[in-house]
Amino acid sequence: MKVVKESIAGTLESSDLLVKVAPSNKGTLDIVIKSHVFKQFGKQIRRVVTDTLAQLSVDAGSIVVEDKGALDCVIRARVQAAIMRACGSNELDWQRLS
């Protein structure tokens, strides 16, 4: 999927995360993760984000994650929602979202 516009998904509340997506100027995929628990879980959060993006075939865009201690399933759902919005897509490909 191609990121064509800016989008956000999620909240800043505890156990949630806010995902911000924007098109990339140079066609690169830039992922920035901010989390209070980065030291313990930073690698794991990044893995969930990159896996989710790969599943959706997103290879370009700016992704900023403000994590508030969310579980993996929440991270995946928020990243998916933000990407769907950023791609202007209304059709859900359930196989890719599972």
**Which listed range, 8-16, 41-49, 72-80, 88-96, lies at the site for another protein (CB under 8 A)?**
8-16
Q: Which is nearer to another protein, 25 or 90 (CB)?
A: 25
Query: What three-state secondary structure class fits 27?
Result: coil
Q: Does 20 bind another protein (CB under 8 A)?
A: yes
Considering only residues 64-83, where is the footprint of another protein by CB under 8 A?
64, 66, 68
To another protein, the closest distance from the beta carbon of 88 in angstroms equals 13
Ranges of H-type helices in 1-98: 38-55, 72-86, 94-97
Say if residues 53 and 79 touch (Cβ distance below 8 Å): yes
Q: In the complex with another protein, which residue's Cβ is closer, 24 or 55? A: 24
Backbone angles phi, psi at 13, to 5 degrees: -80, 165
